[in-house]
Amino acid sequence: MSYCSYQFSLTLLALLPLVSGHGYVAQVSIDGKDYYGNLPNANPVPSIVRQINDVSPVKGASNPYLNCGQDAQLASLVADANPSSQLQFWWKGGDGSNWPHNIGPIMTYMAQCVGTTCDQYNSTNAEWFKIEETGLQPGNLTWYQQNIMIGFPSNVTLPPTLAPGQYLIRHEIIALHLANEMGGAEFYPSCTQVNIQGDQSDVAPTSDEVTFPGGYSDNDPGIYDPTIFDTPVQYTFPGPSVVSFAAPASNTSSPTSSNPSSTTGTPAPSSTASGSGGGAQCQVSTAQAAFALHARQPRSVSRVMRRWLKSLTGSP
């Protein structure tokens, strides 16, 4: 099977109901050292990733769980990191399979753990600044989130001049497959605890900081988007701008390495990652879309998805 055919197969699978229809960050790698998160609502083991109690998405921009995820609990460990450290976030579906969504942005924020260490820090009033945002691949047809769905990590570079100290890293996927309806966006935030070393001096200006909830509104263009299935996609990221001292933009969630081995914590569920061609852009052909549109479909396929397929074929 060709890579593009595989991509299209995944698109069709995205239309079907999945047990693993939601998910979480199962593993984080910092400069090649691997840390495992806890299964949601399981007995926790020491980790740097704050444990959530439910793989379901956070719904609504005013939801208090928009901060670090569903009822996120303090993690007991804080990992050392450096300026320009390379991080990888490995997302899993709720049943341990690959991440199930492929439409919407990936964004990463940081907040300093003020007055205490991050394993004791209550992030309710944390001031978050954005260090990266990743949306569409060249051509504005395929989201980089597609690479996470295939089984690859989201890659993030820490700012090279960020002042040392203890920080939370809030890594977030927003799934937009229901974003044509107000309140339909699905938020998946996850918080990781790190200690940045060095003697750098950059801090985010107050004008670039937001709280969660508070940083988004349900009617923001990048959260409520009636044209989300129109192609080419025109997308506006929600939230603040990326801080000026962030690392140069790079294509995150690209297939740069295989799933790393364990060094810390409990192993995450096994992955069936496959595919090739980092950031490869595959366009759904008219014939493929027409087949998907007119084939017998389960009742669970929404009118939104059918409209998207129609937009690809020009069908009435």
Total domains present in the chain: 1
Q: For position 50, which CATH number holds?
A: 2.70.50.70
Residue 287 is assigned to a structural domain of this protein: no
**198 assigned to some structural domain:** yes
- Nearest partner of 168 among 81, 241, 248, judged by Cα: 81
Per-residue pLDDT tens digits for 211-270: 999 999 999 999 999 999 999 999 999 999 999 999 987 655 655 444 433 333 333 333
Q: What is the pLDDT of residue 249?
A: 77
87 occurs within a structural domain:
yes
d(CA 88, CA 260): 10
Which strand (E) or helix (H) includes residue 148? Answer: helix 145-150
Residue 203 lies in a domain: yes
In 3-state terms, what secondary structure has residue 99?
A: coil
In a domain, 121, yes or no: yes
- Whether residue 316 has a cis bond before it, omega within 30° of 0: no
Contact (CB, 8 A) for 201 and 163: yes
Q: CB–CB of 8/282 below 8 Å?
A: yes
User: Is residue 296 included in any domain, yes or no?
Assistant: no
The span from the CA of 168 to the CA of 223, in Å, is: 24
76: nearest Cα among 32, 129, 125, 38: 38
Would 246 be classed as within a structural domain?
Answer: no
Sheet holding 128-134, edge to edge: 79-81, 186-196, 165-175, 106-112, 128-134, 209-210
Picking from 110-114, 229-233, 301-305, which range would have the lowest pLDDT averaged per residue? 301-305
- Residue 204 counted as domain residue: yes
- Domain of residue 169, residue span: 23-211
